Amino acid sequence: EVQLVESGGGLVQPGGSLRLSCVASGFTFSSHSMNWVRQAPGKGLEWVSYISSGGSTIYYADSVKGRFTMSRDSAKNSLYLQMNSLRDEDTAVYYCARVGTGIRNAMDVWGQGTTVTVSS
């Protein structure tokens, strides 16, 4: 079964750090680009970051640039999001999502999400 499982969410104070992980199974992880997408409580979807299949190309949304770092470890079938200098507005469910093959950069597999709460 193709699956993505996120972990690492939790409660953190403003200015703090957190590292999210996403473990992939059921497909060749190293062949797919990946994204992190977040959703604040009661709000819509917001793209956070993208990493190419080989890890050499990474993009960030302006809202997280300079604070978040995305990486991957294909030996561990894992995706990471290091989040520093966290703000209240980073509170959200964070999803990892696979960029599908042959479907023009659409995200065809999503994890169940991990919740990050930034609050004092």
Residues that bind other proteins (CB under 8 A): 35, 37, 44-47, 50, 59, 61, 95, 97, 100, 103-108, 110-113
The nearest distance, CB 26 to other proteins, in angstroms, is 14
CA 7 to chain centre: 10
Q: Nearer to other proteins by C-beta: 112 or 120?
A: 112
Pick between residue 84 and residue 115 the one whose CB is nearest to other proteins.
115
Q: CB–CB of 94/61 below 8 Å?
A: no
CB of 75 to other proteins, least distance (A): 26
Rounded to a whole number of angstroms, the minimum distance from the CB of residue 76 to other proteins is 22
Contact 73, 22 (CB under 8 A): no
Shortest spacing between CB 99 and other proteins, in angstroms: 9
Nearer to other proteins, 62 or 120 (CB): 62
**Closer by beta carbon to other proteins, 65 or else 87:** 65
The Cα-based distances of 5 to 15, 16, 57, 96, 114 in angstroms read 26, 23, 23, 8, 9
Q: Which residues pair with 67 in a beta bridge?
A: none
